[in-house]
């Protein structure tokens, strides 16, 4: 997989940080209401990518911090997204050697599963905190996230390999 090529880690931390800041901004960028429901979980996609690509650099602690930032930004219960993303990062780190070499469609299926886990944690917490019925349309971010995964992975792969060739 070109998307996950190994490289020496100069400037990797900065790139992870910038991409996460961008993902967090996209998470709160105002969208028209019909599109807002389908907004993919950018931060979750980034957590999946980075924990697969640089498991030594991006651990579940980083995922937890990213989740905490997302919680603060979106005004949800503190720790809600953090818990979901921690779980996602854990699965990724546990199986990163296997997932990295999957063909792209199989990878997308894995991402689908990971995003479902993440969304499930969010719903579960909301249910415990007393939210009412959760409409089916709230699963939409899982679908859009899966569809966007090949694009995100290729894009981040290109960004990483360009720096290396210099």
Partner 1 sequence: MTALRNSPAKPLFQRGPSLGTRLFLLTLLSLALMVLDHREGHLDRIRQVLSYAVYPIRAIVDLPFSLSEWAGRNLEERADLIAENQSLRREQLENSARLQRLAALESENTRLRALMESSARVGDRVLVAEIMAIDLDPFRQKIILNKGERDGVFSGQALLDANGILGQITRTDPMSSEALLISDASHAVPVEVNRNGLRSIAVGTGDIGSLSLPFLPNNADIQKGDLLVSSGLGGTFPRGYPVAVVSSVARDLGEPFARVAAVPNAALGSIREVLLVFPGDSESDGRPEAAGPDQ
Contacts with partner 1, residue ranges (CB under 8 A) = 21, 24-25, 28-31, 33, 36-37, 39, 56, 59-61, 64, 67-69, 72-80, 82-83, 86-87, 90, 93-94, 125, 129, 132, 135, 138
DSSP class of residue 29 equals S
Q: Which is nearer to partner 1, 36 or 159 (CB)?
A: 36
What is the nearest approach in angstroms of partner 1 to the Cβ of residue 18? 12
**Minimum CB distance to partner 1 smaller for 95 or for 106:** 95
Tallying the residues shown for the chain, one arrives at 166
Q: How many CB atoms lie within 10 A of CB 4?
A: 18
Backbone angles phi, psi at 59, to 5 degrees: -100, -170
Closer CB to partner 1, 77 or 113, in the complex = 77
Residue 71 Cβ vs partner 1, minimum distance, rounded to whole Å? 8
Q: How far apart are CA 139 and CA 120, in angstroms?
A: 9
CB of 157 to partner 1, least distance (A): 22
- Among residues 74 and 106, whose Cβ is nearest to partner 1? 74
**Residue-wise over 52-67: b if at least 16 C-beta within 10 A, else e?**
bbbbeebbbebbbebb
Residue 29 or 97 with smaller CB distance to partner 1 = 29
What is the DSSP annotation of 112-143?
A: HHHHHHHHHHHHHHHHHTT-----GGGGHHHH
């Amino acid at each position: 997989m070109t998307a996950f090529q190994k490289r020496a880690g100069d400037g990797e931390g900065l790139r992870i940080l910038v991409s996460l800041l961008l993902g967090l901004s996209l998470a709160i960028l105002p969208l028209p209401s019909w599109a807002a429901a389908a907004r993919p979980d950018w931060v979750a996609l980034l957590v999946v990518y980075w924990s697969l690509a640089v498991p030594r650099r991006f651990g579940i602690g980083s995922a937890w911090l990213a989740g905490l930032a997302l919680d603060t930004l979106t005004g949800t219960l503190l720790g809600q997204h953090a818990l979901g993303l921690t779980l996602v990062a854990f699965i990724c780190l546990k199986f990163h050697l296997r997932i990295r070499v999957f063909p792209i469609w199989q990878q997308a299926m894995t991402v689908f599963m990971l995003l479902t886990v993440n969304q499930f944690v969010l719903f579960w917490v909301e249910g415990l905190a007393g939210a009412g019925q959760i409409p089916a349309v709230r699963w939409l971010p899982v679908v859009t996230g899966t569809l966007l995964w090949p694009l995100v992975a290729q894009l981040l792969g290109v960004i990483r390999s360009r720096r290396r060739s210099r």
